Structure 1
Amino acid sequence: MTGQQASTTGRAALLALLAVVPIVAVVGVSLTAAGLQSVGLMPFIGPPQLSANAWTSETGELIRSSVTSVYIAAVSTVLSLVVGFMLAAYVLAMPRMGRIVETLSAATIPIPHVIGAGAIGLLLSDSGFLERLLGMPDAFPALVSGPWFVAVIAEYAWKESAFVALVVLGSISRSVGDLCDAAATLGASAGQRIVRVVLPLAVPSLAVSAAIVFVYTLGSYEAAWLLGPTSPKPLPVRAVRLFTSVDLAARAQAMVTALVSVAVSAAVIIAAILVLRRHRSLR
């Protein structure tokens, strides 16, 4: 490595450090405070007293909320990846029409989730647009506030699939064209080019997108609160309701719920990093 390269690397590391240190400090202080509050060492009322009561008092409800949140996030992530990859493949295969699809997809990203949740609610509710269009006043399924969180998952999948598509396009659009042309000259069909050329190239961006979408949907509050049933409560809904409860003692349980959400998110991020490292080692 030359002196100029070392200097450039040092500047890049310094700039990254200046950006990372404040984030790590804020997150570290927040998690430390939440941990102390969850075990009674930083109570909202009363003297500090070490206790695991917030962790053990409603273990069953906490497990139900965790399973519900993981279910919503996992299904939403899978649907987002499938739809997003299909959108990206279509844009790459059909450049002219693909530009329109890409523009429409990009236009959905700035829309806040609370507005998207309202639109999905108007579309899928018992007296919504889809029920009126199909003419099923008595047989329309309970998609909003139903037991399977269908409307919640639909909102996340709709919003995040556009994000996945743009990430995939941004990462492989420059290199995939020549490789697909080479595969076509060797007799590969369109489906074979997508499966054997586009998909392997898109694996890193799909892994990163999956981690981002999963973590975001796991901690997102608006859609689950507006479109989901009252029970079981996903982790973010449970945390907010406990924190805003008139019972100040319940805030310790809110911190426990938030910490569980952080732990699940951290596990998913680590898994995504391992997938990326394994993919690089196999190349």
Structure 2
Amino acid sequence: MKEKLKPYILLTPVFIVLFSLVSVGMIVCILQSIGYFPIIGLNEITLDYYKEILSDSSFIKSLLFSLSTCAISSIISVIGGVAIAYMLIRDNKYSKIRKSLIRIPVIIPHIVVVLLIFTVFSQSGVLSRFLYSLGVIKNISDFPILTMDKNGLGIVLVYIYKGIPFIALMTFNILKNFSEKLELVAMNLGASKSQAFFNILLPLSMPTIISSFIIIFAFSFTSFEVPYLIGPTTPKALPVEAYIRYASNDLGQRPYAMVINVILSGISFILLVIYNKLFGKIYKYKL
């Protein structure tokens, strides 16, 4: 019993420190979001800040912008990652080499990917200059705006670059545990390779795929550095909007920033609950 409790006892000091920091931060955030900020003379509890934020058109645009860029990038990442994972399963000869290559984008920090996307896809980037040298475009300004644009294409490109390898690795790890006999049995019964994949392998790996989708969606939804560096000035992503309000010289903007943070945390918590429920179902499909 002592040996079993020893790891938990050793981790207790670290847990207490981390829990205290997180708890204090959450309490301060919630209190300021409901109007309790004595430093600037706000002592009354009110929900007016929530009402103002939720009725603010700029907040709605920022929310829709964040949701759309995260949803599009996550869906494309899932499709591309599952396809790559299936190809790795089908070709065992070079699967280890390809799997090692896929790991590289996963370990690269997001800020490095942002610089890479900006260097390649901006109007003054490598691709536009290459097309200009070939005569495809008459002027560099003719190259489409792919970074810092109002549609968030640059943000989507960054998330796709990071998301596809992550989904591929997660799906590969679950697909490789499935016996090849499942596909062979299906083909012996008259199914094609595509039918065996969509009707057998894909449903079995669906809990892992959905949970991976939630992970990358939640991460990109709360990501700050990517939309801050390569996103448009308007509409802003929610984390960027919260940061600008928080860093404002006007301390009266602080409660609004905290409201946005609470909303971000609430959506992330909902995604976490959904993930935990799906994670428990993965074992039902484990062979």
Unaligned 5+ runs, structure 2: 133-138
What is the deviation of 1:179?
1.9
| Counterpart check, 1:31 vs 2:34 | no
Residues 153 and 16 (structure 1), Cα distance of their counterparts in 2 relative to 1, 3 Å cut: farther
Q: Is 1:134 the counterpart of 2:139 in the alignment? A: no
Aligned to 1:64: 61
- Shift of the 176–30 alpha-carbon distance from structure 1 to 2, 3 Å rule, reads farther
76-85 or 272-281, which deviates more = 272-281
Equivalent of residue 192 in structure 1, options 181, 191, 195: 195
Give distance in 2, aligned partners of 1:176 and 1:225.
45
Note if contact 1:89-1:198 (Cα within 8 Å) is conserved in structure 2. no
Percent of aligned positions that are identical: 26
Question: Take 1:17 and 1:188, find their aligned partners in 2: how far apart are those partners?
Answer: 55
Note the C-alpha offset of 1:119: 0.3
Q: Secondary structure at the match of 1:209?
A: helix
Structure-2 separation of matches of 1:234 and 1:147: 11
- Residues 209-244 of structure 1 show CA distances to partners (whole Å, capped at 9, x for unaligned) of 011111100000111111111011111111111111
Over 3 Å counting, the alpha-carbon distance change for 1:74 and 1:90 in structure 2 is same
Matched, 1:40 2:35: yes
Question: In the alignment, which residue of structure 2 is the partner of 1:120?
Answer: 117
Greater mean deviation of Cα atoms: 227-236 or 242-251? 242-251
Which residue is 2:258 aligned to? 255
CA displacement, residues 155-185 of structure 1 (integer Å, 9 cap, x when unaligned): 1011011111111122231224332233344
Matches within 5 A, 1:64-143: 64-135=61-132, 137-143=140-146
> What TM-score do you get using the length of structure 1 for normalisation?
0.84
| 3-state DSSP of counterpart to 1:87 | helix
Once the two structures are TM-superposed, the CA of residue 64 in structure 1 deviates from its matched residue by 1.8
Structure 2 Cα separation of the partners of residues 18 and 211 of structure 1:
31
Q: Where does structure 1 lack aligned partners over 5 or more consecutive residues?
A: 1-8
Q: Which amino acid aligns with 1:159?
A: K
Q: CA deviation at 1:46?
A: 2.8
In 2, the alpha carbon distance for the partners of 1:88 and 1:16 equals: 37
User: Is residue 272 of structure 2 the alignment partner of residue 269 of structure 1?
Assistant: yes
Instruction: Provide the aligned C-alpha RMSD in A.
Output: 3.2
Kindly indicate whether residue 161 of structure 2 is the aligned counterpart of residue 164 of structure 1: no
Question: Residues 44 and 156 (structure 1 numbering): CA distance in 2 closer, same or farther, change over 3 Å?
Answer: farther
